[in-house]
Structure formats: C-alpha cells, structure tokens
Amino acid sequence: MVSRPHGGRLVNRVVSGRRREALLAEARELHKIEVSMDIASDIRNIAYGAYSPLTGFLTSDDYEHVLHDMRLSDDTPWTIPIVLDVSREELGDVREGDDVALTLGGEAIAIMRVEDIYGWDKEEHARSVYKTKDPAHPGVRKTYGMKELLIGGPLDLIKEVSYAGFEKYSLNPAETRVLFKEKGWKTIVAFQTRNVPHLGHEYVQKAALTFVDGLLIHPLVGWKKRGDYRDEVIVAAYEALIKHYYPRDSVVFSVLWMQMRYAGPREAVHHAIVRKNFGCTHFIVGRDHAGVGNYYGPYEAWDIFSEFPDLGITPLFIRESFYCRKCGGMVNAKICPHGDEYRVRISGTKIRQMIMAGKKPPETMMRPEVAEVVLRFKNPFVE
Amino acid sequence: MEKETVSVEISKDLYERIERYIKENGGFSSVREFIEFVVNEVLEGEEEGGYSSEEEIKERLRSLGYL
C-alpha cells in the first residue's frame, strides 16, 4: 500500500468527455484571465492531485492560515501559499461567485469559480514564507513583482498543459501510484532535485534505497533562478547516471513541472507533501533544502519537520557525505574514522565552477559519464 | 425488479427543450432516460476525470518504458 494522499483523497479536477466539451464552450463566453507558465504549472498540479487536498487557489481564510500557521484552515499541514495574483484591470467586473476562464497563450486551460477576491501584504508574505524581506532573495523578488489582488476558488482543468520537451518523463500522481503498485513497492523514497547529480547525491539516494522498496528521482522542471542547471541538462545527467550505476528495477525517474521558490524549510515540507501525493512514503530532505544564499541555517529544513508529526510521509535526514581516499568511497562522518587529509568535500559550487570553466570534475566528485554529458552542453546553466 | 426512483423538479422550459431535442435527434425514449444518461455521463466523468482506467494507465506506462 503506497502513501495515502494528503488530506485523504487524491484530488482530480481534470474534466473529460462531454463535460469537457461543454466547459470548453462555456469558457468562450467567460471573462478571461491570462496566466503565466508558473501559474499554469500550479493549475496542472492542482488538477492532477499533486497538491491534494487543494482543489483550487487559496481563498483568504486558507491563505492566512498557511501564512501564519503553516496549515490549511482545517488544520491539514500546508506550508507554501498556492495563490493566483491578478490586477484590478485584469479582474474587470468579475465578482465573487463568478466563473472565469484561465488562459495560457490566449487558450482557455481551466475554469475557475472565484470564491474570494482579496488584497495581500507582500512584505508580510515574504517575511512569513521566505523569512526575509530582502528583494535580493529570488522568491521575495518574485513576490514583489506580483499583482495587487489574489483570487481563490476551485478550478477544473479543461485543456491539457505540459512543459514542452519532457512529456516522456511526466507522470501524474495517479500514474506513479499505479506504477509503484505494479512494481510491488510498498515503501518508496523520493528524491527532490534541481541539480545534476554528483557522488553525494548518489550516496544519499542509495543509502535511503537500502531500506525501502523503490526510489523516485523527481527533479523539478520549470522556472529556476539564473545560474541553476537547465532542465535538459539535469535530465540528461540523470539518464547517464541511471544507465550506468542504478539497478533498473528499483528506481523510477520522472520530472515534476513545478517552480522553485527557494523558501528553504517551508518548501522542504511542501516538497515532501507533493511527493506523498505521488505515492511516496519517505522523502530525503537535503542539507539547506530549497535554500539559497545564506537566508536559512544549514539544518533548518530538517528541524521544521518536528512541527509536523501528522505529515504522513517520513522525512529522511542523511548526513553530509564526502569521498574518503583511505576508505576508497563515499562515507559520512559517523562511519569514517579518517582525518581531513583523506576527505574530499563535494561542493556543488565548486563543481559548477569547474563546469563553467569547461573542466571535468574529478571522479571523487562526479561520475565521469555524468560529467561528460554535462560538458557536452554549450551552456548548461539558466541565463 | 423495478429500480427505486425519486422525483426531482426541473424547470418546465428545460423539460420542453429536452423533449424538442429528443424529437429532433432521437436516441432516447423519454426525458427521464435522457436526464439519467446525461447525469451518469457527468458523474462518471467526475469520478474518472482525466485519469484513464488503471488498465489505460498501465498501457501508457508500458509505452513510456516504465513497465
């Protein structure tokens, strides 16, 4: 039995058949609000149940609870406000209770019942979610650029939207759940990433896999900040790693279209909830998970989980690893008796600098097959 | 055994539109049959939504190489 969906039921707001046809026709007559790709990904994640139990964008009551208590108004853990921002001009004459068509590139993708229209305090939002008001923080900067009103209410997806180029690896929660069941997996650990894999990542994944039936490697595709690895580079790097170093029958690789928010501890919990909806029972929480700069302490993303004994997915905190020349492999401080002179610390920043300079990171940091794939890209980083 | 039924009121206008639809398009022997069909379609759509049946999901997973 894989993990029970968050809130008890996998939300499904994808409309099909005759009802879809009727709603597509209805959408033509409705007031239209154009959304960004980021919002489109949220719409998709709501509709397919990745954000269960959300059935739409947060109304003010839930928003306030999430902001201040990290829970929905019914006390279900929820740490990241999933909101839809609009300007007064975009909203026009729309009133609470009206239906609107949410469009992407002019085409209606969803119909939303506007239950609530409310103002919000962006600084308060930034302080609560990102623990800083500093506009240099990428999530805060994005927040300050959002529009003055939020609208909340349930939605129905009437047109499939996807992140072009990764359809082959895009599985929705219903699909991963069937897949895990077919594989006979009862315990599944998820690994969230926005990086190309180095030996440290491989170590934590395999350490976790030792104790469960299967591993879901689940990188995010979608908006990332400048300097992060491009989505296609991450996917190609994992293809190489899995091909050469992973047992095929105990790992699933799939991508998740969801923006990075860099909200550190709050986002770590959010990442865990989403993976619970995909059927995972365990979630690897990284050191400084979803962090950026020095906004969060290195283990804040671990500590926050103690506030959620009712989360329904088990967080795994795996110690920082390093390569030990004396041990001849990846180890951590608890199992390696050797001194610093033998230890090769694996730093993502250092690897990034080597790749930027066109140099191949050493085999004590990155698998050669992975390094070769990454270096094949003219520019592997988001500009 | 006859299925147990209950009564639901709908507007006369809608009732007459359904009658006209059946007369023009056929396919249903009564307004009741039409309404039961449409409601079932909607409910089944709601239950399954965008999700295919488990067999169809397996088929997709096989075509993608996951199974």
User: B67 — contact with chain A (CB < 8 Å)?
Assistant: yes
Q: Which residue has the tokens 């279900």?
A: A76
Domain boundary assignment for chain A: 17-157, 167-375
Q: Do A338 and A353 contact (CB within 8 A), yes or no? A: no
Q: Do A213 and A227 contact (CB within 8 A), yes or no? A: no
Q: How many Å lie between the alpha carbon of A166 and the closest alpha carbon of chain B?
A: 12
User: A17 — contact with chain B (CB < 8 Å)?
Assistant: yes
In angstroms, the CA A44 to CA A151 distance is 17
Q: CA torsion sign, A69 to A70 to A73 to A77?
A: negative
Tell me if A17 and B50 make a contact (CB, 8 A cut-off): no
Tell me if B49 and A12 make a contact (CB, 8 A cut-off): yes
Complex-level ipTM beyond the 0.90 threshold: no
* Chain A residues in contact with B46 (beta carbon < 8 A): 19
Q: What is the pLDDT of residue B45?
A: 53
What is the pLDDT tens value at each position of chain A, 383 positions in all? 577 899 988 999 999 888 899 999 999 999 999 999 999 999 999 999 999 999 999 999 999 999 999 999 999 999 999 999 999 999 999 999 999 999 999 999 999 999 999 999 999 999 999 999 999 999 999 999 999 999 999 999 999 998 888 988 999 999 999 999 999 999 999 999 999 999 999 999 999 999 999 999 999 998 888 888 999 999 999 999 999 999 999 999 999 999 999 999 999 999 999 999 999 999 999 888 898 989 999 899 999 999 999 999 999 998 889 999 999 999 999 999 999 999 999 988 899 999 999 999 999 999 999 999 999 999 999 98
- Pairing between β-strand A149-157 and β-strand A256-257 as defined by DSSP bridges: unpaired
pTM check: above 0.95: no
User: A179 — contact with chain B (CB < 8 Å)?
Assistant: yes
A195 is catalytic: yes
Using left for φ > 0, alpha for ψ between -120 and 50, and beta otherwise, residue A92 falls in left
Tell me if A178 and B54 make a contact (CB, 8 A cut-off): yes
Q: What is the pLDDT of residue A369?
A: 98
Nearest CA in chain B to A47: B50
> Which distant-in-sequence residues (6+ apart) come within 8 Å of A359 by Cβ?
none
Q: What is the pLDDT of residue A25?
A: 93
Give the bridge partners for A188, in sequence order: A214
Tell me if B67 and A12 make a contact (CB, 8 A cut-off): no
* Chain A residues in contact with B40 (beta carbon < 8 A): none
User: Where residue B48 falls among pLDDT bands split at 50, 70, 90?
Assistant: very low
In angstroms, the CA A119 to CA A309 distance is 32
Q: What is the pLDDT of residue A16?
A: 86
Q: Which candidate in A177, A194, A275, A343 is catalytic?
A: A194
Query: Could you give the 3-state DSSP secondary structure of residue A236?
Result: helix
Burial A196-235 (b: 16+ CB within 10 A, else e): bbbbbbbbbbbbbbeebbbbbbbbbbbbbeeebbbbebbb
pLDDT tens for B5-17 read: 899 999 999 999 9
Q: Do A22 and A108 contact (CB within 8 A), yes or no? A: no
Q: CA torsion sign, A183 to A186 to A192 to A195?
A: negative
User: Where residue B51 falls among pLDDT bands split at 50, 70, 90?
Assistant: low
For chain B, the C-alpha Rg in angstroms (whole number) is 18
Tell me if A19 and B42 make a contact (CB, 8 A cut-off): yes
Q: Which candidate in A113, A195, A287, A332 is catalytic?
A: A195
Report the topology of domain A17-157: Sulfate adenylyltransferase (3.10.400)
Residue A129 CB: number of other CB atoms within 10 A?
22
| Range A167-375: architecture per CATH | 3-Layer(aba) Sandwich (3.40)
- Within A171-299, residue ranges assigned H as helices are 173-183, 199-209, 231-245, 264-277
Q: Which residue has the tokens 């001194």?
A: A339
User: A26 — contact with chain B (CB < 8 Å)?
Assistant: no
Q: What is the dihedral of CA A136, A138, A141, A143, to 10 degrees?
A: -150
Q: How many CB pairs under 8 A join A and B?
A: 52
> Which distant-in-sequence residues (6+ apart) come within 8 Å of A251 by Cβ?
A209, A214, A215, A216, A217, A242
Is residue B49's pLDDT more than 60? no
Nearest CA in chain A to B43: A19
Q: What is the pLDDT of residue A17?
A: 84
In angstroms, the CA A244 to CA A259 distance is 29
Residue A214 tokens read as 């299967």
Q: Do A196 and A343 contact (CB within 8 A), yes or no? A: no
Q: What is the pLDDT of residue A50?
A: 98
Nearest-by-Cβ selection for A17 from B41, B51, B60: B41
Q: How many Å lie between the alpha carbon of A319 and the closest alpha carbon of chain B?
A: 31
User: B54 — contact with chain A (CB < 8 Å)?
Assistant: yes
Using left for φ > 0, alpha for ψ between -120 and 50, and beta otherwise, residue A293 falls in left
> Which distant-in-sequence residues (6+ apart) come within 8 Å of A175 by Cβ?
B57, B60, B61
Q: What is the pLDDT of residue B3?
A: 67
Tell me if A15 and B41 make a contact (CB, 8 A cut-off): no
Tell me if B41 and A178 make a contact (CB, 8 A cut-off): no
